[in-house]
Structure 1
Amino acid sequence: MKIKWAESLRESVHDLAESLGNLFVESFHYLALFAIGGITAWASIAAFLGMVEKGHITVDDILLLFIYLELGAMVGIYFKTNHMPVRFLIYVAITALTRLLISDVSHHNGPGMGVVYVSAAILLLALSILVVRYASSQFPSVSADAPRRRRLQSSQPAEAGDPGET
């Protein structure tokens, strides 16, 4: 036999703990995103000012700015969707390897196996983007609603055929 007041108290404590946990996790995510976005912006401005101070800009420098742009786009997408797109991480890796390849060829001017290895790595990453895009179109992930979305949906009546309907 359950004691109703104890069960009610347990549910209240559970709901409070879940709400506080969600608050702390979401607060950490937003603080971390602001920090990462700010650091990315700061680094890109510093790199740009370094290029201006140097007096000329190389392809390496432009690719570095593209890396910063992709990192900023990842932060922006995470802010909007709460999902980290793996493709953007692969784009950053491809851009970084392209930057390495251009730098290696322009500074060493000699053909070597390093060029082949980096080119193969870029090809492998490009194929991985193809696989990720194909997999995400054929097997879409089930998105979990954020806590605030659940609250909004629970306060509104469910329509017929609505997946949130119980």
Structure 2
Amino acid sequence: MMLRWAEATRVKVHAIAESLGNLLVETFHYLALFAIGAVTAWAGLVAFLGMVEKGSISVDDILLLFIYLELGAMVGIYFKTNHMPVRFLIYVAITALTRLLISDVSHHHRPDMGVVYISGAILLLAIAILVVRFASSRFPAATAGSGSRTQRSTDSEAESMD
């Protein structure tokens, strides 16, 4: 009799602790997402205002805005699906390397091995996207539960939001 009471109490305490832990984790999760989204929007706005103040916009500036756009899209998709497509991180890396390549060639006007290295890195990242897309279509992520925050989206489902 006493063992049943102790086991029932343990189960209740475990359920309360799990619920409280989930609440704290999700609260932190939402606050962190809002903070990252706000910082990204702020950085994009500051960059845009700097371009307006300068009076001219270069390709470097436009690519920087695309980087902020991709970061904002990553936050939005993660907020909606609780899933971070790795492809978005690769897209940001490709855009950053493209920005570096254009900036280097336009400012220094001399192609050297650095251009080849950056182009090779972009090619490797493009191949990585192909591999990730193939793998996600061939081996989709398993869904866990039916709740909106616990359900995991496959990379191909998040792809429809691109």
- The TM-score normalised by the length of structure 1 is 0.87
- Letter of the structure 1 residue corresponding to residue 77 of structure 2: I
Determine the structure 2 residue equivalent to 1:88. 88
CA distance in 1 between counterparts of 2:123 and 2:145 reads 36
CA contact (8 A) 1:87 1:129 kept: yes
Determine the structure 2 residue equivalent to 1:154. none
CA distance in 1 between counterparts of 2:148 and 2:106 reads 52
Determine the structure 1 residue equivalent to 2:8. 8
CA contact (8 A) 1:22 1:147 kept: no
Determine the structure 2 residue equivalent to 1:79. 79
Determine the structure 2 residue equivalent to 1:35. 35
Q: 1:149 to 1:55 in 2, by over 3 A?
A: closer
CA contact (8 A) 1:41 1:72 kept: yes
CA distance in 1 between counterparts of 2:99 and 2:46 reads 18
- What's the RMSD between the two structures over aligned residues? 1.6
Determine the structure 1 residue equivalent to 2:128. 128
Runs in 1 of length 4+ with deviation above 2 angstroms? 143-150
Matched length: 150
- Letter of the structure 2 residue corresponding to residue 38 of structure 1: A
**Greater mean alpha carbon deviation, residues 139-148 or residues 63-72:** 139-148
- Letter of the structure 1 residue corresponding to residue 12 of structure 2: S
CA distance in 2 between counterparts of 1:78 and 1:129 reads 18
CA distance in 2 between counterparts of 1:96 and 1:51 reads 18
- Structure 1 residue 141, shift from structure 2 partner: 1.0
CA distance in 1 between counterparts of 2:43 and 2:65 reads 10
CA contact (8 A) 2:81 2:149 kept: no
CA distance in 2 between counterparts of 1:22 and 1:78 reads 18
CA distance in 1 between counterparts of 2:59 and 2:47 reads 13
- Structure 1 residue 111, shift from structure 2 partner: 1.1
CA contact (8 A) 1:37 1:72 kept: yes
Q: 1:40 to 1:146 in 2, by over 3 A?
A: farther
Percent identical across equivalent pairs?
Answer: 77
The structure, 1 or 2, with the larger RCO (C-alpha pairs under 8 Å, 6+ apart) is 2
Deviation string for 1:100-142 (max 9, x for gaps)?
0000000000010000000000000000000000000000011
Which runs of 5 or more structure 2 residues have no equivalent in the other structure?
151-162
- Letter of the structure 2 residue corresponding to residue 102 of structure 1: I
CA distance in 2 between counterparts of 1:133 and 1:143 reads 18
CA distance in 2 between counterparts of 1:146 and 1:115 reads 48
